[in-house]
Amino acid sequence: MAWRCSGDSNQELVDNLYDAGLIKSPIVKDAFLKVDRADYAPHNPYKDCPQSIGHSATISAPHMHASAIEYCLAHLSPDKERRVLDIGSGSGYLTHILAEMVGDKGTVVGLEHIRELRDLGEHNAQKSARGRQLLEAGRIKFRHGDGRKGWVEDGKSDWDVIHVGASARILHEELLDQLKAPGCMFIPVDDEHGIDQSVWRIEKDAKGEITKQRLFGVRYVPLTDPPRGS
């Protein structure tokens, strides 16, 4: 079904994702409608498929971004000051949508281990008046660093939601440590023999107890060391 959700406009793409049940919540649909994928996807922006953005990286298919937000939705409500870390932010598309989800009090940090991709995300966000507004307000920030180690921003390393847009070889302890209690992580991880990958939803409850749920198989670029010079 996911691959049949392409449209001829941002509105049609989002409507198709909603009608197919891939976007389930009206508030998620509203956030997707606020962000024109054409600002972030270089070719056929309203096609529901991944696309190359250079540097051996991709922008994921819209239905995958929808799944990530839906699975973390309980921790994205703008009822308090939300902090979200988007590791492997790439084009910046999901970073922008997450900022729309968390509202005026929230902060979303897009973290990239390749400096050119960090710059690409920020450049793309600047294409729209809304993106520029979020950047100027500090609600979206793009940073360069090793996402496997998490991130410290404004002296804080605790995150309500951690989204990882590349497949990790292991579930890194640094990311678990930086997840708030309560908090949620959406992360693809290599399976036992490193051949296949699965997305895991990691939930930390208010007492710090961790629950791991395998969601579905995927194919992501690896979460690895940056190329030399990046």
Q: Which residues are annotated as catalytic?
A: 60
Paired strand residues for 143: 111
Q: Around Cβ 160, how many Cβ atoms within 10 Å?
A: 23
Q: Around Cβ 127, how many Cβ atoms within 10 Å?
A: 14
Q: Is the Cβ–Cβ distance between 150 and 175 less than 8 Å?
A: yes
**59 phi, psi to nearest 5 deg:** -95, 125
* Cα 85 from chain centroid (whole Å): 8
Alpha helices in 126-230 (DSSP H): 129-136, 173-178
Of 134, 132, 83, the C-alpha closest to 109 is 83
Of 124, 179, 125, the C-alpha closest to 151 is 179
